[in-house]
């Protein structure tokens, strides 16, 4: 398994000669793209298959947080989830496997445990007479998980030379044992109070070495009036590299061109150890 040396370098940014600063004006899209390219390269993949009749599709990580790689709904063979089914329900193996990766990723990415209804995860119903299943491949990404009670400040911090990448953020309450000190029972009874705020926290914090954000209604709104809430965030820290040559990564196409000294290298493997050595970058993190 290869490991890659990733440089995120906005085309509009040109550091002063000799500059040693590691704070870059990162694009959130570029940062998250680079994050998940690294995730898929470095960590083993788990597979969970849930039959149509079993409604709960559960993903979990003992350590780290969930990153959905692929999620498919349909039927690709006649053996999977065939127990107790009539032959005609499993014989159509041409039933297309519909991708629900985006939907499942929105529900589960960045969480330690995620449960979804496998029967409603897909808006379409390929092959109505065929018994289908939901199959997800995911990996567990090392992450820092932090909970901040309402009215307090969340301090997100990376080591020197690293920047924040927010995986998941939620403001609300989903249990009765977190942030309960001195709180009267009516304020902690409602546990279906949830508001996904990953985008807001990402916009404030991604690409920074550290970030302070208030856990409060003034920042995220009030998803459940009268309930004492908390902000839970999972995030990773990405190493940054300041190259001596002007480099440009095009992560929005299916290749990564390296442009320097009138030379272009295109490919999906990004920068290998050879590239780091060739450009004399002693600080390449591999």
Tens-place pLDDT, residues 20-46: 334 444 444 444 444 444 444 568 899
**Which two structure tokens, joined as six digits, stand for 185?**
């029972």
The model carries a pTM of: 0.63
Mean pLDDT confidence for 163-184? 95
- Domain match, 54 and 131 both: yes
For residue 25, being part of any structural domain is answered with no
pLDDT at 238 over 50: yes
Would you say residue 78 has pLDDT above 60? yes
pLDDT over threshold 50, residue 256: no
Last residue of one domain, picked from the residues 124, 141, 158: 141
Which domain does 124 fall in, by range? 46-141
Tell me the CATH number at 176: 2.60.120.740
- In this structure, the answer to whether residues 52 and 129 fall within a common structural domain is yes
Domain count of the fold of the chain: 2
The residues, any chain, with a CB within 8 Å of residue 283's CB and separated by 6 or more, are 161, 241
Nearest to 8, CA basis, from 75, 225, 25, 109: 25
Rounded Cα distance between 191 and 168, Å, is 19
181 and 129, same structural domain? no
58 and 125 share one domain:
yes
141, 160, 195 — which closes off a domain?
141
* pLDDT greater than 50 at residue 244: no
Asked if 175 and 120 sit in the same domain, the reply is no
122, 204: one domain: no
């Amino acid at each position: 398994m290869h490991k890659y040396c990733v440089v995120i370098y906005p085309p509009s940014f040109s550091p002063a000669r000799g500059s040693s600063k590691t704070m870059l004006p990162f694009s959130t899209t570029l940062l998250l793209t680079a994050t998940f390219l690294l995730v898929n390269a470095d960590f083993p993949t788990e597979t969970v298959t849930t039959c149509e009749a079993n409604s709960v599709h559960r993903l979990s990580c003992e350590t780290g947080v969930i990153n959905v790689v692929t999620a498919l709904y349909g039927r690709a063979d006649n053996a999977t989830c065939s127990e107790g089914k009539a032959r005609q329900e499993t014989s159509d193996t041409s039933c297309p496997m519909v991708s629900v990766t985006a939907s499942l990723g929105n529900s589960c990415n960045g969480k330690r445990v995620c449960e979804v209804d496998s029967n409603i995860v897909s808006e379409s119903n390929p092959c109505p007479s065929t018994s289908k299943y939901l199959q997800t491949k995911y990996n567990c990404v090392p992450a820092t998980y932090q909970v901040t009670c309402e009215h307090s400040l969340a301090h997100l911090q990376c080591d020197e030379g690293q920047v924040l990448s927010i995986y998941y953020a939620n403001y609300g309450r989903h249990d009765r044992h977190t942030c309960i000190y001195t709180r009267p029972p009516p304020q902690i009874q409602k546990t279906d109070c949830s508001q996904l705020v990953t985008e807001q926290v990402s916009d404030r914090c991604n690409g920074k070495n550290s970030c302070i954000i208030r856990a409060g209604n003034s920042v995220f709104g009030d998803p459940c009036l009268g309930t004492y809430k908390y902000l839970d965030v999972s995030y990773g820290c990405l190493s940054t590299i300041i190259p001596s040559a002007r480099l440009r990564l095009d992560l929005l196409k299916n290749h990564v061109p390296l442009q320097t000294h009138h030379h272009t290298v295109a490919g999906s493997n990004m920068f290998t150890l050879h590239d780091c050595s060739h450009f004399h970058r002693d600080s390449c993190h591999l």
